[in-house]
Each structure stands twice: as structure tokens, then as C-alpha cells.
């Protein structure tokens, strides 16, 4: 047998040569891989965000309505006007309550799926959460318009159960009530909860999957009641999942402008304020400043979440 050479000559033409060069310079390969996505995201996305941020430091001339391209904090000052502060507080409260409610509703689903569902049921649960998560946002909102309509299914159910009085009593509660569910905060809240709920279930389930059953058994073995096991063992271990999920429910609620526009009272949320200021009012600086608010709130929220180790569950 003739001995083959230990090192073979370059081959496969240009591609082979390019491949050889990339082997010698792994950094070059990395650069080639990263350049297109970074150019796209860096220029288009970050550039836009920067443009937005820059706009918020401009102001609008009250008389002419023309944007003045001079750096000023005047626009941010306007944010502090009582009407605008109202909007910010209202939106944050809504986002907070939607998040808490989503965590409560999601827990049994996530826990059941993580601990008890097996085989076919497990797949069914997973799909049962995945499909609503990914399916059309607008269609989901539309479904609630159908449900909450005066002649819709919800009123029909209450009527047939002879419970209309209960609904009326609920609607007469100030703040959360209103003329009907479809023009009340409760309605807005329900739709938000519905639309973002799957975003809470999945990370929660992922976190719960990682809690070995033996921990719970150990807790019970050491004399803890089920409630104590929940509060001392299960809940703390599920917390990273809850925080990961809450990032979505919180952020998505903060920035949404379609749900409160379609189901809700006429009082504005941050998203609607941004939308109307940039649209009909033409006050881009104020719209931009408003848009920065959820970024700041989210930034603070993410910072807190990171400190809690929530990102490991993502």
C-alpha cells in the first residue's frame, strides 16, 4: 500500500480556499455571520429607537404646531401634567393587575401540565397553550367584542341563569364598573388577561417542570401542610417562571393601544396617547416622550427581574 500524504493539498476550488481562510481566522467567520443581522437590527431598529429618543428631546411650538429641533426637556415636563400622569398611572396599574391575575389563573394550568399531565395529555396541554399564544391577536380581541356585546353571549348567559341583577350590581361598583362590561375597565382587564394569559403559562410551566417531585415530598415528609409546601417550596421555585412570564404580560399591556380602544372606557392608556399624539395631534415629541415611559418602566422591571434570576427560565 502506497502511503498517503499526512497533509493533503488544497482542493475544492474557491470554496475550499475560502473555507481554509476562515479556518485560519475564526474571527473573520464570526464577523461574516454577524454583519448582516447586526447591520439590519443595528441600523433599522436601534437607529429608529434612537431617532425616537431624540424626538422626545425636541418640543412643539404651541402656536404654529411646528416641531422645534432644539434639545429641551420641555416635552418631558409636559408628561408630568396631571392628565398625562393619570394615563401613566392608569396603564401601570392595569398592567400590574393583569400580571397578577394572569399569574393566578395560569398557575393551576401550568402546575397541572408540569406535574400531572403525561403523554398525550401533556402534548394536549402544551398545544392548548401554544395555539392561543400564537393565534391571531386581532381575532382574539374580536372574539371578546362578540362576547361582551349587549346582545352577546355573556349577557345571554346571565339572563338565562337569572343573574342579571348580579352583573348589574357588579357594574354599579365605581371605577371597575360602567354602563356595560364592554365599556368598563373590567372589560378591558378581561380582554388583556385573556390575550396575554398564555405568555404567563408557558414560562411558569417550564419553571415548575424543573421542580423535582422529591422536593415536595421532602417538604411534606418534614411535616409541612400542602399550603406551607406551596408557599415555602413550590412558589419560590416557580418564581423565576412567574417573573419571566410577567415580563411579557406587563410589557405587552403597557404598550397596547388596540384593546382599550375597542373594549373599554374612553379614558386613555399610554399606547393610545402615543397613537393619538403622533397621529391626529401631530405632536411627535410628546408621543415620543410617552413611548419612552414604558421603556423606562420595562427597563426597571427587567433590571429587577434579572436580579431575581428570571432569565434562566426563558
Partner 1 sequence: MRSDKTLRSPLPLKIAAGAGLLFMHVPILLIFIYAFTTEDKTYQWPPPGYTLKWLGVTWNRPDVWEALNLSVRVAAISTLVALVLGTLCAAAVSRTRFFGREAISLIVILPIALPGIITGIALRSAFNIAEIPFSFWTIVLGHATFCVVVVYNNALARFRRTSASLIEASMDLGANGFQTFRYVILPNIGTALLAGGMLAFALSFDEVIVTTFTAGQQATLPIWMLEELVRPRQRPVTNVVAMVVFIVTFLPILAAYYLTRGGDQVAGHGK
Partner 2 sequence: MKTAVHFEKVSRHFGDVKAVDSVDLTIGEGEFFAMLGPSGSGKTTCLRLIAGFDQPTFGDVSIFGESTNGIPPYRRNVNTVFQDYALFPHLSVADNVAYGLMIRKVAKQERRRVADEALEQVQLAGYGARKPSQLSGGQRQRVALARALVNKPRVLLLDEPLGALDLKLREEMQEELKNLQRTLGITFVFVTHDQGEALSMADRVAVFNEGRIMQVGTPQDVYHRPNSEFVANFVGSSNVLPSELVNELTGKSVPASLRPEAVKIVDEGGFEAEIVDISFLGAATRLSLKIDGMRLHALVDGTKAALEFRQKVRVDWDAEDLHLMYDNNG
Burial of 230 (0-12, 13-18, 19+ CB in 10 A): middle
Task: By CB under 8 A, name the one of 99, 186, 278, 283 that touches partner 1.
Answer: 278
Residue 153 contact among partner 1, partner 2, none, beta carbon within 5 to 8 Å by kind:
partner 1
Alpha-carbon distance of 270 to 85, in angstroms, equals: 10
Cell of 138: 386581532
Alpha-carbon distance of 118 to 124, in angstroms, equals: 10
Residue 127 contact among partner 1, partner 2, none, beta carbon within 5 to 8 Å by kind:
partner 1
Burial of 241 (0-12, 13-18, 19+ CB in 10 A): buried
Smallest distance, Å, CB 2 to partner 2?
A: 11
Residue 2 contact among partner 1, partner 2, none, beta carbon within 5 to 8 Å by kind:
none
Residue 268 contact among partner 1, partner 2, none, beta carbon within 5 to 8 Å by kind:
none
Site map 193..212 versus partner 1, x via CB under 8 A? -x--xxx-xxx---------
Task: Please list every residue from 21 through 60 that binds partner 2, using CB under 8 A.
Answer: 23-24
Give, in order, the Cα–Cα distances in Å from 255 to each of 28, 31, 78, 84: 40, 35, 19, 15
Which residues on adjacent β-strands are paired with residue 67? 60
CA geometry: angle 37, 41, 45, nearest 5 deg: 165
Per CB under 8 A, which region of 16-24, 59-67, 180-188, 302-310 contacts partner 2? 16-24
Smallest distance, Å, CB 28 to partner 2?
A: 13
- Chain residues binding partner 2 by CB under 8 A are 3-10, 19-20, 23-24
Amino acid at each position: 500500500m502506497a502511503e498517503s500524504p499526512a497533509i493533503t493539498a488544497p482542493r475544492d476550488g474557491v470554496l475550499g480556499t475560502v473555507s481554509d481562510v476562515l479556518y485560519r481566522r475564526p474571527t473573520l467567520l464570526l464577523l461574516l455571520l454577524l454583519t448582516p443581522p447586526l447591520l439590519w437590527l443595528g441600523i433599522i431598529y436601534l437607529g429608529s429607537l434612537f431617532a425616537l429618543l431624540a424626538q422626545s428631546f425636541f418640543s412643539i411650538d404651541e402656536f404654529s404646531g411646528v416641531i422645534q429641533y432644539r434639545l429641551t426637556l420641555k416635552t418631558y415636563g409636559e408628561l408630568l401634567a396631571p392628565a398625562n400622569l393619570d394615563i401613566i398611572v392608569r396603564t401601570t396599574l392595569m398592567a400590574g393587575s393583569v400580571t397578577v391575575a394572569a399569574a393566578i389563573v395560569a398557575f393551576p394550568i401550568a402546575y397541572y401540565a408540569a406535574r400531572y399531565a403525561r403523554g398525550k395529555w401533556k402534548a394536549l396541554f402544551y398545544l392548548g397553550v401554544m395555539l392561543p399564544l400564537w393565534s391571531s391577536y386581532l381575532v382574539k380581541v374580536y372574539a371578546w367584542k362578540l362576547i361582551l356585546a349587549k346582545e352577546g353571549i355573556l349577557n345571554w348567559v346571565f339572563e338565562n341563569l337569572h343573574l342579571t341583577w348580579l352583573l348589574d350590581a357588579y357594574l354599579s361598583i365605581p371605577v371597575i364598573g360602567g354602563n356595560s362590561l364592554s365599556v368598563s375597565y373590567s372589560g378591558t382587564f378581561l380582554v388583556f388577561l385573556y390575550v396575554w394569559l398564555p405568555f404567563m403559562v408557558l414560562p411558569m410551566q417550564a419553571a415548575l417542570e424543573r421542580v423535582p417531585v422529591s422536593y415536595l415530598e421532602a417538604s411534606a415528609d418534614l411535616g409541612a401542610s400542602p399550603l406551607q409546601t406551596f408557599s415555602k417550596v413550590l412558589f419560590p421555585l416557580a418564581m423565576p417562571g412567574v417573573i419571566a412570564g410577567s415580563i411579557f404580560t406587563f410589557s405587552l399591556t403597557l404598550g397596547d393601544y388596540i384593546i382599550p380602544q375597542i373594549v373599554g372606557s374612553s379614558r386613555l392608556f399610554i399606547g393610545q396617547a402615543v397613537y393619538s399624539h403622533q397621529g391626529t395631534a401631530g405632536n411627535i415629541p410628546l408621543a415620543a416622550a410617552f413611548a419612552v415611559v414604558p421603556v423606562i418602566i420595562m427597563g426597571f422591571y427587567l433590571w429587577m427581574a434579572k436580579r431575581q434570576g428570571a432569565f434562566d427560565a426563558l
